[in-house]
Structure 1
Amino acid sequence: MKRILVIRRDNIGDLVCTTPLIRALRLRYPAAQIDALVNSYNLPVVAHNPDLNLACAYTKAKHRAADESLIGVTWRRLRLMWQLRRTRYDLIVLANGGCLKRPLRLAKLIGAQHVLGFYDASVAGADLIDLRVTEPKPRSGHEVEHLFSLLAPLDIQPPAGPEVLRPDPAEQQRACDLLQAQTWYATRPTLAVHISARKPSQRWPVEHFIEVLKTLAAQRDVQFMLFWSPGDEHNPMHPGDDRKAAAIRAGLPADFPLLPWPTSHLQELIGGLSVCEGMLCSDGGAMHIGAALGLPIACFFGQSDVTTWRPWGVEHRVMQPASREVADVSCAEALAALDALWPAISARRAG
């Protein structure tokens, strides 16, 4: 296996959960060319991955910019497939949570001596997979473990290692410089507070965030970075939380030790989280990024499965009410979760 391509075209958290598989391939084949094909939205997750020789991306139609045509996006995708085909990969790894049609089509366009993936005879094109793994049903274990089971035909055995994520050095330095430039800055733990969540069931109320931040500031020597997706919450394509962030800031004293950090781009989110020591957030892509960066995490879970999607490889506390509505998590529960994590947060600051 001298040339290997890993295909993962899903959401942010899915790609983060794929990085232990990539690390295992690098350890198994240290001299191989190992590349990844992802979508343009997720590219920053693997752009600086030390286990990859090349991280390339294509743009999904729904992610194209306002000035990009569907024809242009399709043409660039086909050109990329042709370029990858010329590499003549020995192995393509379909790193998906199942046997899916679109990754199979990409693998067919690119071509390889072997294709490794979960096999399902009922899926069109599945016969392309010659290194076949039967997907367990029902699934059990974490997404990282589920993906890692794909590597059995290569004689790579569990356990899976930690997630791997490297921030863009310029973005990390920018976050560090802006944090240290604040009048209230001190060498104390910085808690990342991420307030955005795609699903309504995962959203925590503004007043709860305000109360928890005020209480923590009164009880501990701590400072905060406030993360959110910018924009209007009524935007059907890219809803944002500008109004929610503004309400939280308005509910705090003017001199409160909080740095607002809206993240229009994924590399801004990664760079900002990389200078923090702990995190309060809902289940989602940002949570998985925080885990890959090694942050202790207090996380709200709505209707997601905790076993499959909990933070991997880090100290964490999950808050999932019986109603599966994050709004029903009390401030006391959030404070208790952070209290339990504080030794790990303090140790990260000291380290």
Structure 2
Amino acid sequence: MKILLIRRDNIGDLILTTPLIATLAGQENTKLDLLVNTYNKDVLEGNPHIGKVHLYCKSHHRKPGQTLLGVYWQRLKTIFEIRMAGYDVAIVGSSDKRPLQWAKMSGAKRIIAVGGEGQGPDCVTDKIAKVQGQHIVEELNSLATPLGINQPPGPLELYVSSIEVAKMAEKFSINRDKPIYGVQISSRKPQQRWQIEKFIELIQRLSTKEDCQIILFWSPGADDNPEHPGDDQKAQQIVDACKNTQLIPLPTSSIRELMAAMSLCDQIITSDGGALHIAAGVQKPVVALFGNSDAEYWAPWKVPCAIIKGPDENVGKLSVDQVFEQFIALRVKVLAAKLVNHG
């Protein structure tokens, strides 16, 4: 059976699909290919479950020097490759119209997508109803049920080499013999953002509590960039205010660098978003701040975590005391579990 899995959206969405990828690829006589975009493809590097990766370039993700005509030409080539591959099944990881169009263009005999009976376009042969209270990973995994696959989803799977991790440690002079905490400050949604002065106080309190290194993560770039607004200015404010701590500002230039750097951390704090799922994907304990997104649906998957919901669905209303106490409580819990496991 030849399956095309379509996931041409955000980085976090693709990471959350990795348990489904493992589920599908683990079946006998099954070949699994993916259609993803040029922006999220790097999270698949090293994944042993995947055959061919078809690439879709969004116009605003084109590289310097790449023309719109070149983007559209590559898109036509991808359509041709998918059509010629002869897929038996196309699985769509979202209910958006464009991924469904790609599924239809594939010519697959069956198209599986989320959507209750009577919903969605007629091209969908198997519609999977949403279940209230399900995590997104469970919802995605249910897309395998029309194929007679009913096993529960495993953990998120990101594959980072020891060489990648060692390079980041060397490049930024990270001492791996003491606790390393990751603090990720960026979020696209205003109600998911914590104030810079609160991050500064948290970093100072963690540094006072123990001899630790703290890696500062953020979305690189200027805040007035219309396509990819960044937090360089906010990060610099934190660096300037925390010169008395072992703070390591780490401006990652790629997803692979972020994955490798987060692999160095013993625990990470971040608001809900792509970085949260990268942290969970490299199996790190996470303190997750939630504002106006569904914490039950988007929670860190199968890693030790503390989920902190902002009052009135606003992360900015969380106090430093609340976050600090939850951070320390999770750290103690993780260390206690390690002691038990090591007998």
Provide the C-alpha distance between the structure 2 equivalents of 1:342 and 1:78, rounded to a whole number of angstroms.
Answer: 50
Q: Equivalent residue of 2:122, what SS?
A: helix
Residue from 125, 130, 139 that aligns with 1:136 = 130
Q: Tell me whether 1:281 sits opposite 2:270 in the alignment.
A: yes
Residue from 226, 240, 248 that aligns with 2:238 = 248
Q: Deviations over 1:221-246 (max 9, x none)?
A: 32111111111112121111111111
> Could you tell me how far 1:344 is from its partner in structure 2?
5.1
- Which residue of the partner structure matches residue 111 of structure 2? 115
Provide the C-alpha distance between the structure 2 equivalents of 1:221 and 1:104, rounded to a whole number of angstroms.
Answer: 52
Sequence identity of aligned pairs in percent? 37
Q: Tell me whether 1:160 sits opposite 2:153 in the alignment.
A: yes
Contact 2:7 2:36 in 1 (8 A): yes
| 1:56-71 equivalences in 2 (<5 Å) | 56-71=54-69
- Which residue of the partner structure matches residue 234 of structure 1? 224
Contact 2:221 2:229 in 1 (8 A): yes
Q: Equivalent residue of 2:66, what SS?
A: coil
Q: How many residue pairs get matched?
A: 339
Provide the C-alpha distance between the structure 2 equivalents of 1:264 and 1:24, rounded to a whole number of angstroms.
Answer: 31
Contact 2:311 2:318 in 1 (8 A): no
> Could you tell me how far 1:325 is from its partner in structure 2?
1.5
Provide the C-alpha distance between the structure 1 equivalents of 2:67 and 2:337, rounded to a whole number of angstroms.
Answer: 46
Contact 1:227 1:262 in 2 (8 A): yes
Contact 2:4 2:32 in 1 (8 A): yes
Q: Tell me whether 1:204 sits opposite 2:194 in the alignment.
A: yes
Provide the C-alpha distance between the structure 2 equivalents of 1:334 and 1:119, rounded to a whole number of angstroms.
Answer: 37
**Which amino acid is the alignment partner of residue 103 of structure 1?**
P
Contact 2:194 2:316 in 1 (8 A): yes
Provide the C-alpha distance between the structure 2 equivalents of 1:298 and 1:310, rounded to a whole number of angstroms.
Answer: 10
| 1:199-348 equivalences in 2 (<5 Å) | 199-254=189-244, 256-343=245-332, 345-346=334-335
Q: Quickly say closer, same or farther: Cα 1:281–1:103, change in 2 above 3 A.
A: same
Provide the C-alpha distance between the structure 2 equivalents of 1:221 and 1:39, rounded to a whole number of angstroms.
Answer: 41
Q: Quickly say closer, same or farther: Cα 1:201–1:103, change in 2 above 3 A.
A: same
Unaligned runs of at least 5 residues, structure 1: none
Q: Tell me whether 1:47 sits opposite 2:45 in the alignment.
A: yes
Provide the C-alpha distance between the structure 2 equivalents of 1:110 and 1:349, rounded to a whole number of angstroms.
Answer: 48
Q: Deviations over 1:295-336 (max 9, x none)?
A: 111111110011111111111111112221111111111111
Q: Equivalent residue of 2:133, what SS?
A: coil
**Which amino acid is the alignment partner of residue 81 of structure 2?**
Q
> Could you tell me how far 1:158 is from its partner in structure 2?
4.4
- Which residue of the partner structure matches residue 18 of structure 2? 19
Q: Deviations over 1:228-283 (max 9, x none)?
A: 111111212111111111110111135x2222111232222112112212101110
- Which residue of the partner structure matches residue 4 of structure 2? 5
Provide the C-alpha distance between the structure 1 equivalents of 2:53 and 2:280, rounded to a whole number of angstroms.
Answer: 21
**Which amino acid is the alignment partner of residue 297 of structure 1?**
V
Q: Quickly say closer, same or farther: Cα 1:242–1:298, change in 2 above 3 A.
A: same
